[in-house]
Chain A
Amino acid sequence: MSEHAAIAPAATVTERRLPVGRMVLIGGSYLAIVIAAAIYPFVSPLSEVWRAPVSAIEKGDEAVSGLLWLAVLLATIARQPGGRLGTLIFVAGMSQRIGALQYIPHSFVWSLARVIENVGVGVFAHLILAFPTGLLRGRFDRSVVGLAYALGAAWAANELLFVGDWFRIGCNPDCVQNVFVILPDEQLYNWFRNVITVAFCLVELPLLIVGLWRHWRAAAPAARRTLLPLVVGVPLWLAVAIVEVLSRELDFAPGVAFFDSPSGRAIHLIVPLVFPAGLLLVILRARMSRGRVASLVVELGRGVPVGGLRDVLARALDDQSLQLAFAAPSGSGFVDAAGQPTELPVNDPSRTVTRLERDDELLGVLVHDPAIDTEDPGLVEAVGNAARMALENERLAAEVRAQLEEVRASRARIVEAADAERRRVERDLHDGAQQRLVALALRLEVAKKSTPGASELLDQTTDELQTAIGEVRGLARGVHPTILTEAGLRAAVEALAERTPVAVAVDIPERHFDPQIEATAYFVVAEALTNVARYAEASQAQVTAAEDDGRLVVSVVDDGKGGADPTAGSGLRGLADRLAALDGQLTVSSPDGGGTLIRAELPIRPREAPLAGTPSGSPDLFGLARVRAVPEVRVVPGRPGRVRLSSPLVLIAIVAITIAAVAFAAAWPATQPSAPFNGRADTFMRPFVYQVPAGMDIRLYPDSERLHVLSPPGRDRNGISIWAVDEVLVDTCPWKASDPPPAVGPREPRVEGLLAYLNSVNSLKVDEIERSTIDGFPAVRVDLSVGGDTGCPRDPGRLILWRDTSPSGEDAAMQVFGNRVPVILVDVDGETIAMEIWSGANDDPIIFDPWIATANRIIDSIRFFHRPSASPSPASSIRNR
């Protein structure tokens, strides 16, 4: 399609019409997902929930990225409707956008998004190495992309199979769950994730950069221009990704700190945009290349020297490798502007063959860098249109030259045929007449001996026969010297020299040349030496032959009287013609009294004389069609054509899959009913309301910086037994270390017990205690500050505890405090204790670490004091795991 730029305007319109309807459909479905992913958090009723973990800047970045990819997609489809690149960009962009949907708290959407986001990693690698043609070249590229898909699939499988409840987030009011889960196992999941991540960062991404570098190295200038945004953007992006992911995965503190800092966040957000921005730049810049068409018109207006059109077109297309060819006048094959036969590339992915036609008449053929079509699919055609007249002129000129060339070739063929004929005559003389005569003479000799009487007559006859044989031999040698064929030019010339009555020095390399070249050189020497012997009155002569820049230079020089006239005799004249037919040259220099120099120069490899084809009116359309079809045949061996994004079947499939996905998502319960929460203090940052069910242990060890949350053996919704243990980094402020563990004491009323504990903690200072009721239930309010005298920042706050009897404690918390307040609900002995913590310094529901720690202590304390009896500390079992 793009290879076939027809100049005919009518054809142009049908070829290049944009598939507007399809673009709307593709772009629309894409846009819908972009909007859903990017805008949803802002309009969601849960926006309060989301604002905290995902900042507005990040959401904005998501939207910019989405729209950028949309622009790239639409521009690509507009330029290359049905191209593979469009398909890849669509799939890559889609996978990223769908990945962004995981912020929507819907179990199915969340699960699907996580899986597709990971598979999308492979598509991105594919896109990077397939740019700009949309096709993968070479085993290396295919291996790298294959590995990327494999890692992405492994990643997706890991998400799919092992992500259990611990990942459930946004439990407000219900929890999002992995709908595909088979074996929820956090350890296994983390192990796999680490392995895959490290493999990806240390193997796949560097290989990707290497692949890109290989493309760059192999690219022609035009292709480099296209590759530039990738070569700059992708390694940058990948390098940042490698450092960040590895830092986080391997807990490399400085790296994590950097990427958590504002500048690190900015880099994290901006660098991935370089890639789509670069792609867009390439596609938009193609527009600018049309400016070169304008200067082409100006240049053509000034007039182009015959044969100079290729250079002009090469400038306009910015492709110095450009080849301009015309149909050969003979009807088969192609010729260049000089009329020389030329080959068009076949099966060469690095070259594109474009026919320039007008009204079914072939004006010319351009062989160019495929990047031109990728960068700006209409450019070749536009250039062809602008240069139509010049092309016509050039074509006619080339035709004339080709005919001249044909004449020259036919002359060469005549010489060749004559030579062949001479060789045949020589062989016939040798094998036929000569043998017969010699045999006859022999028999005559025998007869003469056995019949002494007839001796005189026989003697005479034998002498005649001898003469005849000698004449035949001389004739054969003159027609074609056998020694030339048998032993080469040097031997033949030496034999000539031996028969020349003048001392002849011979200096000729011992090698065989083309028979035609050899014969011509031989005849030159023979003619020259004959002249030397006959007219030159020379005492010596010298014959030299040497190769010089692909030509054989033969010279014969003597010290005779000179004055030879090359036009006088027919011998030299004929030789000059013979040499001219072989593209050679004969020069004679013969000043009076200054000796004679005869110099012949001829190409060592005679040009391939094209066989005269049967002339026909139209060019070899069949052959050309084959040339045009080559890229597709080569790229998709054994497959029935390429799948086009714009083909109706694919569109129907996309729509059907989308409908099925929406229907499935609608049918699937959005969330699961609240289930026991395993407790992760650090996830305070996301959902604010936790339930700590009965029977669950939470332990803070004073000598540890980690909070251990231990859930009892239980069964998940699939009936599989789980025993999940989580470790959460809490805070490193030194006050913790000096805190004593909760003492094991007699059972006390819960509030009193708590207060006793709070007072025992060095870093907490209880300022005021107020007992009251909330909704008619007893409650206690404790004003306290963390930090104390430990050197940590002091932060006065308030702790409110009350007994919650509502069906769902969470609801009560919501009623009382809205959702601006962090609430911890602790289920103790069948009743729910609600706990609210205010951080006074910030007057903000966002909890900062000392408070999380405090909350955990309080939970711990409440648990401890309400335990029916002191059981062995679970510390040892946790530590030993």
Chain B
Amino acid sequence: MNAPKDRIRIVLADDAVLLREALAAALAAEGFEVVGQADDVPGLLALVERERPDLAVVDVRMPPTNTTEGLEAARRIRAQHPTIGILVLSQYVETRYAVDLIRDDPAGVGYLLKQRVMKLDDLSDAVRRVAAGGSVIDPEVVAVLLGRRRRHSPLDELTAREREILGLMAEGRSNAAIAERLTLEVRTVEGHVRTIFSKLGLEPTTEDHRRVLAVLAYLRG
């Protein structure tokens, strides 16, 4: 990937120093500007106030209780600075966290598993998309959501291709991105999306965030 003209400014928050440092190094190597690091929520909030970054990368689990402080911090940052993107990193494939996080407003929010950040390309892709106001959901989380078995699920009626496209939609990708990834025509993808929406009984929409929201709500439901 090429570094953009305006470097994306990032703050990092994670109480695990080793990982945080490694992450900072990786992000810098990818051409991003890491403007600050914090190991707890107050530090993160202060850093955000001071630096006004484009993006905050936040670990879910931070002191003092080591439970979901990161999610709380993410909500507060979004409430105060809606333009700052939030990328939440988690150890766990807990779909509830992901859905909780982006339920209200998926724009500029991402939820990635920590193992994903080891794929540098995936990481920098997610960083860019979230910083640009898009949504990112970890594919593994989406897979769990899609894989959940339910009685008489309309998902059963989807074709394999349609399921694949639904997963990518849930991850927050646009039709064009889906077409590129699956090496399909954008028109074809659009056709699949229409079919999916009608099979699942969802309102068709072209706006990415709302599309993600609808898909997630459906999958979660």
- Interface residues of A, Cβ cutoff 8 Å to B: 427, 430-431, 434-436, 438-446, 449-450, 462, 465-466, 469-470, 473, 477, 482-483, 485-487, 491, 494-495, 497-505, 540
Contact = CB atoms under 8 A, between A and B. Distances in A.
Contact of B16 (A435, A441, A486, A499): A435
Contacts of B105: none
B118 A462 contact: yes
Given A435-B18, A497-B148, A443 B96 contact: no
Interface string B22-53: 11011001000000000000000000000000
Interface stretch (B87-95, B158-166, B200-208, B210-218): B87-95
30 contacts: A427-B66, A430-B61, A434-B91, A436-B19, A438-B19, A438-B115, A439-B22, A441-B118, A442-B19, A442-B23, A442-B26, A442-B117, A442-B118, A443-B22, A445-B26, A446-B120, A469-B115, A473-B91, A473-B92, A477-B92, A482-B91, A483-B92, A483-B94, A487-B94, A487-B96, A495-B93, A497-B148, A501-B149, A503-B153, A504-B149
Contact of A495 (B95, B147, B151): B95
A341 B16 CA distance: 46
A486 B67 contact: yes
B118 A491 contact: no
B68 A486 contact: yes
Contacts of A503: 149-151, 153
B95 A438 contact: no
B146 to A, nearest CB: 10
Contact of B117 (A430, A438, A465, A491): A438
B5 interface: no
A257 B29 CA distance: 116
Given A443-B22, A503-B149, A503-B150, A438 B94 contact: no
Nearest to A436: B18
A487 B92 CA distance: 13
Interface secondary structure of B, over-half rule: helix
B21 interface: yes
Contacts of A482: 61, 91-92
A450 B28 CA distance: 12
A607 B75 CA distance: 40
B194 interface: no
Nearest to A539: B151
Nearest to B16: A435
A503 B147 CA distance: 10
A477 B148 CA distance: 19
Contacts of A427: 66
Contacts of B16: 431, 435, 439
B94 A430 contact: no
B150 to A, nearest CB: 5
Contacts of B67: 485-486
B182 interface: no
B25 A443 contact: yes
In the A-B complex, the 8 residue pairs with the smallest Cβ-Cβ separation, listed nearest first, are A439-B22, A503-B149, A441-B118, A435-B16, A442-B22, A486-B67, A439-B18, A445-B120
A308 B191 CA distance: 81
A483 B67 CA distance: 8
Contact of A435 (B19, B147, B149): B19
B67 to A, nearest CB: 4
Interface string B67-85: 1100000000000000000
B149 to A, nearest CB: 4
B29 A446 contact: yes
B91 A498 contact: no
Contacts of B61: 430, 482
Interface in B88-111: 91-96
Given A473-B91, A486-B68, A487-B96, A450 B118 contact: no
Contacts of A494: 96
A498 B144 contact: yes
Contacts of A440: 22
Nearest to B95: A498
B13 to A, nearest CB: 14
Nearest to B25: A446
Given A498-B147, A502-B149, A491 B115 contact: no
Nearest to A499: B144
Contact of A439 (B21, B68, B151): B21
Most buried by B among A443, A505, A540: A443
Contact of A450 (B29, B144, B145): B29
Interface string B8-22: 000000001011011
Contacts of A449: 29, 120
B201 to A, nearest CB: 19
A438 B19 CA distance: 7
A445 B116 CA distance: 12
A823 B92 CA distance: 119
A119 to B, nearest CB: 68
Contacts of B26: 442-443, 445-446
Contacts of B120: 442, 445-446, 449
B96 A540 contact: no
A434 B16 CA distance: 10
Nearest to A500: B149
Most buried by B among A473, A498, A504: A498
Interface string B107-145: 000000011011110000000000000000000000011
Nearest to B65: A486
B119 A495 contact: no
Contacts of A431: 16
